[in-house]
Amino acid sequence: MVSKKKNTTTTAAGDGGVAEYEQSREQRIKENLLRMQKLGIMELSRNLKPVKPKPKVVRPQKPVVTSADEPRRSSRIMTIPTVSYAEQRIPKEKVKKDVKIVIKDGSNPEVYTEEHEKMLGDHKEPWIVGVDGYDDEGNRMYDAHDGKSCHQCRQKTLGLRTKCLKCKTVQGQFCGDCLFQRYGENVEEANANPDWVCPVCRDICNCSRCRRVKGWEPTGNIYRKAKYLGYKSVAHYLIHTRGPNGKQEDIEDLPTDEEGDPMDDKDDGKQLDDKDDNNMDEDGKHVPIEKSIKPHDRKKKSKGDDDDADSDYKSDSQDDDDDNDDEDQSSEED
């Protein structure tokens, strides 16, 4: 009972304090309002109106009148030549328009007939060079065990190879890059055609080995030049220029020295092939300096033909396994 009385007394005292504060606050507010009314502050604030912003006056710009007299300069710098900070771009050297392909004359004249023109191939879809049989770094994947030899470049690498209906041997195997650049055909389309016959059986093969048998000199790396002249491939260039309806303007006679011996015109069409002379073989294919070789291939040495610039060309003796494999497959099919 005693505690309840104390609490009641404390609450009443607190309520009385709040009420006194509120009363004094209201009293001060009233006094301030009366003081402001006496001073006229309330009416002054009502009479004040917002000031409208003045519109900006746009003055027309007067044209600058250039004086006919020469600009004033210090006599001290009159004798000093004016410095020009304009960049002078050196134009790039243009590609030669008069590109000519030079091939040495062999012991026999190189002549083609209309039958050879009929044997030329074609493609529906273009072949992308430098992808099939290459690793992620753009190097060819050589493998003497699992790789297949190409009749044109004679390199055992991984990738697609053609199969000839007529010969059914390794001479009918062409890699995709060689088949497209040298004969204008797509290896995938050739493999999809069961009646496809290889260029060797069609008598239009232009590899260095077949050309020497006929008494002709190797063509060398001429794919880019032939493409620049408007031909689909090297075979199309050779047969169309040396056939019955040949365009002799695309053939240039090989210059001779004082003794009458033929000499190469190495500067001819230089700008088309300079970038690839060190890394291109005779078939216009890139030969990377560092190649992907499997461990079991490192002990084997490869021999190249005397006309091949690439030391990694495989000799014909390494193709015997492919011949045996093809013979076994043909016997099983029979």
Lowest mean pLDDT among 100-114, 120-134, 169-183, 300-314: 300-314
pLDDT at position 238 is 94
C-alpha to C-alpha distance for 129 and 149, rounded to whole angstroms: 17
Residue 293 or residue 169, greater confidence: 169
Q: Domain extents for the chain?
A: 114-325
Contact 268, 99 (CB under 8 A): yes
pLDDT at position 57 is 81
Name the pLDDT band for 72 (thresholds 50, 70, 90): low
C-alpha to C-alpha distance for 293 and 296, rounded to whole angstroms: 8
> What is the share, in percent, of the chain residues with pLDDT greater than 70?
61
**Mean model confidence pLDDT for the chain:** 73
C-alpha to C-alpha distance for 149 and 318, rounded to whole angstroms: 9
The distance in angstroms from the start CA to the end CA of the chain is 123
Name the pLDDT band for 196 (thresholds 50, 70, 90): very high
Mean pLDDT, to the nearest integer, of 138-167? 92
Residues whose CB is less than 8 angstroms from the CB of residue 156 and which lie 6 or more positions away in sequence, other chains included = 142, 143, 144, 147, 148, 149, 314, 318
Q: Angle CA(125)–CA(126)–CA(127) in degrees, nearest 5? A: 120
pTM value is 0.52
